[in-house]
Amino acid sequence: MTKSNVEGHLADIDAAADGGAYSNKKMEELLDELVTAGQDWADDTFVDILRGYYGAHVRKVALQTVENGFNESGSVYSFTRFCVHHKKLELLQAVADLGLPPERADTEAFHGGATTPNGRWLDMLANVGTGAQTSFARQVFAFSHSESGPVLADILVKHDAAHLDIEVLKGSHGYAVIIDAMMRGRIAESSATEAAPARSRHRSAAL
């Protein structure tokens, strides 16, 4: 698979704006291949598709595909679990950073647990379809004993540190992983705050 091949297929999907099942099936195959390609350009292309770089119709079909989950070995994985399974956590971070799509702004929070728009987006990425099987916070719990746990926790804290499901996890290892992520965030913020005056003094001295 090459980028030019992928862009050719995306052009076909865009041309078949009313392609229905064809567009959805083709998009699922493409996004699956991009996730599993193991190449930076593939990750960038995946994010660009969701960002709308390849047109509104392509973005719409891709968003539906991400929400519906990914088929593999007879099982359907949420985008979050699919990325964890294939060790594509940087891609998950990049998609999370896109934030809640404007066309999903009126959707309800899955558990009523998300407290920010981006928290709702994370919960959408953690589920398959429009049902409410889980939340992103619960995915941190599910993977808390793996190397993915701290990364998922960092994503959650960045986008919805007050998610109500965090309290549900109190007493668990997943809760401890989230608290660690909160501490890392505070240390990073503190370091950035302390560095700012130092940079300012350095510039003043240079002048």
Q: Is residue 52 part of a domain?
A: no
Q: Within a domain: residue 165? A: yes
- Tell me if 4 is assigned to some domain: no
8-58 tens-digit pLDDT:
989 988 887 766 666 888 899 999 999 999 899 999 999 999 999 999 999
Query: What distance lies between CA 203 and its chain's CA centroid?
Result: 38
Please report whether residue 143 resides in a domain. yes
Q: How many domains does the chain have?
A: 1
pTM for the model stands at 0.85
Does residue 81 fall inside a structural domain?
A: no
Decide: 88 and 35 in contact? Cβ < 8 Å: yes
The yes-or-no verdict on residue 168 having pLDDT over 80 is yes
**Residue 25 covered by a domain:** no
Encode pLDDT of 92-150 as tens digits: 999 999 999 988 887 665 666 899 999 999 999 999 876 667 899 999 999 999 999 99
Q: How many residues does the chain have?
A: 207
Indicate whether 113 belongs to any domain. Answer: yes
The two tokens of residue 149 are: 């746990």
pLDDT at 186: 72
Residues of the domain holding 185: 106-207
DSSP readout, 53-115?
TT-HHHHHHHHHHHHH-EEETTEEE-HHHHHHHTT-HHHHHHHHHT-S-GGGTTPPPSSS---
pLDDT of residue 179: 93
Q: Is the dihedral of CA 161, 162, 167, 168 positive or negative?
A: negative
